[in-house]
Copies of this chain bind each other. A is one copy, B any other.
């Protein structure tokens, strides 16, 4: 579990199957992907996805993943339970849970998820969203940090084209859109796990919109995967272009929509999340 030869991401998503209990795995939180009061939501999404991807009954590849952050994950061991609820000819429906023992040692659900995996075949294809026209990553500065004590940002090379972290928290915000070039800080070929994690890489839109870092946290995220193993291999260790914006901010919750494009202009994933905020 602490094989330092592995990439930090692979250490963070490592799961050990529990013998005799199919779909049950042991894991451990990673300090490398720590957020303010718990793990980076993206790493938790990747860990849950990993539970299905390592399952012997897996059919196809990820199509749709919804992760619900029901309660805080604390530093330490956890278990993942991955259950194929229904397997059809070309799609498979999963329930996923992350469990941690409470003070009395009883396992409690901290995170729930549903996943659809699918066997895909070639069809007519078309992208109706437009690839943003942006400057090259080399021309842009790297985002150094998000906030004190936030480790996970160091695991990514994030270069803001627009909508970077506000330089002044003075309530002057005017919009909620960010465009980033992004990739793993330590080179790692893109796969479904890292793509799932990167879908949550856009800091809370409410911070940008208000230039005010109010308490905020993702409640639920849904990511649709529009890609396959061949396309992921082509993306490799290159940059992704991320584009995210807030939609409706109302009475303590807002939603944000995001897209992740490959450097060569393929739309790899679209993602939406609903986020709690205070005040």
Chain A positions near chain B (C-beta within 8 angstroms):
63-64, 66, 68, 70-71, 85-86, 88, 90-91, 93, 95, 108-110, 112-114, 116, 118, 120-129, 175-176, 209-210, 219-220, 222, 224, 226-228, 245-253, 255, 257, 259, 267, 270, 272, 274, 276-279
Contact = CB atoms under 8 A, between A and B. Distances in A.
Q: Which of A124, A209, A250 has the most CB of B within 10 A?
A: A250
11 contacts: A64-B68, A68-B116, A85-B112, A123-B250, A123-B279, A126-B209, A128-B245, A128-B248, A222-B222, A247-B259, A272-B272
A248 B266 CA distance: 10
A218 to B, nearest CB: 11
Given A66-B66, A222-B222, A228-B251, 17 more contacts: A64-B219, A86-B109, A86-B112, A93-B112, A112-B114, A114-B114, A118-B219, A120-B251, A123-B250, A124-B279, A125-B249, A125-B250, A128-B246, A224-B248, A224-B274, A227-B250, A247-B259
Main secondary structure of the interface of A (DSSP, over half): strand
Contacts of A91: 70, 219, 276
A235 B231 CA distance: 45
Contacts of A112: 85-86, 93, 95, 114
